[in-house]
């Protein structure tokens, strides 16, 4: 007589293996859904820019290492390159982790991050420490710059507030967003950080403009912006010095002039990697002025390709938003893109001596700690917010719907 197979207790080894298999299958399904819904073109552009940044920091690292070495401590020529690889690895983890969030979870995470960084920004004047004369960092076991992490969160908070107008056009969404922008501007200018103030203001203006405000309010916002710059020039020394330096023209000893000379020093094709010499006298070669190092060692053609990649990134997001029906998604994605693209083009224009010096890194390319992780986190939020099922047809969203009376009320 054949014996019956042994019974396995409930919760035994076979049950455990089955649960593990179900968990693996669920993870595979989640990854398959993520890969299907993610904007793979946008992800490819971001990864290409990060790869260019790896090569660029490797080229700029010797100049910064020599400049910061002392008689007692001599830095390895690839010191900043090795550290940059670590920050990029952490940034990729943050980017892919954020991109796997559902849209609602990404919105909640952005809002919570924003309020946490606002508190951090308030603590900077009290508990922060200074670098190069600016108090912008908190010491939390590692250096943390709250304003960098506030950038992507600011776009999400602003989109959340402005999207209230869809449910109730009478809510003071514009006024609340203006008050938030004003509070952030005061905290940033106290550091001082005039460059980030301009960037936040630009993102705010783009998002308020897209939220469907009247032409009169657009004119008032533009006038307020001009008045703010004039007042900053009159009463804010940091802004006045930067504007005077830009308008009056630089000298051979100004860092912006040195950056332009370095940028043009390699011609169209560049001197070759590690063969540039002008970069050796350039301050912050691996951060603020890395675009000039790229110009010297890889040539103006490489610089043009980088500009084209940033333009492609912005265009890619805007084209994806053309048939988006959700106002929060439209505003948040546009705000995150404006922040990323705006920072990139401000940095490039500074290197070309076409914009006052701002102390702003080139996103996804420059060396950075907080900035690298924060920018990658912002890209992750952007990828999460623009995720969509390719099999669902979408009706195009029109900003004209904002403020319009329902059809029953028009009768």
| Interval 15-64: pLDDT, tens | 555 777 776 777 777 788 888 888 999 999 999 999 999 999 999 998 88
Band (326; pLDDT cuts 50, 70, 90): confident
> Is 399 within a domain?
no
Task: Establish if 92 belongs to a structural domain.
Answer: yes
Q: Is residue 134 part of a domain?
A: yes
Residue 89, Cα to own-chain centre: how many angstroms?
17
The CA distance from 322 to 134, in Å, is 41
Domain count across the chain: 1
> Could you report the per-residue pLDDT of 84-125, keeping only the tens digit for each?
999 999 999 999 999 999 989 999 999 999 999 999 889 888
The separation between the first and the last C-alpha atoms of the chain, rounded to the nearest angstrom, is 86
Supply the DSSP symbol for 281: G
> Is 382 domain-assigned?
yes
Residue 408 within any structural domain of the chain: no
Within a 10 A sphere around the Cβ of 400, how many other Cβ atoms? 8
Q: Is 398 left (phi over 0), alpha (psi -120 to 50) or beta?
A: beta
Residue range(s) defining the domain that contains residue 327 = 40-388
Task: Say what the pTM is.
Answer: 0.82
Per the domain annotation, does 153 fall within a domain? yes
46 belongs to a structural domain: yes
Contacts of 37 (CB under 8 A, 6+ apart): 387, 388, 389, 390
Q: Is residue 26 part of a domain?
A: no
> 356 by DSSP, 3-state: which?
coil
């Amino acid at each position: 007589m054949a014996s019956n197979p042994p019974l396995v207790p409930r919760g035994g080894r076979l049950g455990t293996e089955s649960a593990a298999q179900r968990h693996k299958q669920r993870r595979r399904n989640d990854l398959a859904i993520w890969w299907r819904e993610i904007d793979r073109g946008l992800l490819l552009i971001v990864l290409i820019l990060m790869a260019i940044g790896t090569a660029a920091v490797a080229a700029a690292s010797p100049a910064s290492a020599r400049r910061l070495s002392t008689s007692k401590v001599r830095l390895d020529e690839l010191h900043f390159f090795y550290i940059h690889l670590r920050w990029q690895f952490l940034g990729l983890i943050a980017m892919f982790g954020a991109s796997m969030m559902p849209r609602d979870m990404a919105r909640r995470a952005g809002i919570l991050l924003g309020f946490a960084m606002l508190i951090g920004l308030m603590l900077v004047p009290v508990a922060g420490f200074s670098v190069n004369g600016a108090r912008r960092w908190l010491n939390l076991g590692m250096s943390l710059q709250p304003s960098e992490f506030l950038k992507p969160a600011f776009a999400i908070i602003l989109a959340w507030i402005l999207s209230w107008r869809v449910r109730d056009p009478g809510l003071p969404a514009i006024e609340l967003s203006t008050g938030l922008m004003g509070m952030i501007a005061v905290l940033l200018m106290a550091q001082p950080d005039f460059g980030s103030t301009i960037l936040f203001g630009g993102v705010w203006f783009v998002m308020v403009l897209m939220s469907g405000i009247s032409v009169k309010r657009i004119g008032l916002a533009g006038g307020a912006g001009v008045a703010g710059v004039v007042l900053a020039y009159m009463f804010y020394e940091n802004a006045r010095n930067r504007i005077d330096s830009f308008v009056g023209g630089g000298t051979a000893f100004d860092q912006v002039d040195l950056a332009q000379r370095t940028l043009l020093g390699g011609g169209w094709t560049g001197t070759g990697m590690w063969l540039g010499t002008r970069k050796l006298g350039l301050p912050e070669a691996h951060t603020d002025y890395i675009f000039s190092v790229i110009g010297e060692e890889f040539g103006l053609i490489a610089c043009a390709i980088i500009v084209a990649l940033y333009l492609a990134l912005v265009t890619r997001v805007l084209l994806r938003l053309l048939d988006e029906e959700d106002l929060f998604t439209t505003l948040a994605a546009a705000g995150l893109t404006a922040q990323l693209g705006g920072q990139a083009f401000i940095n490039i224009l500074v290197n070309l001596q076409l914009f006052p010096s701002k102390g702003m890194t080139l996103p996804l390319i420059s060396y950075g700690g907080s900035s690298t992780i924060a920018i990658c986190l912002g890209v992750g939020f952007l990828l999460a917010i623009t995720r969509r099922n390719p099999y669902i047809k979408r009706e195009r969203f029109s900003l004209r719907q904002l403020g319009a009376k329902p059809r029953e009320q028009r009768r």
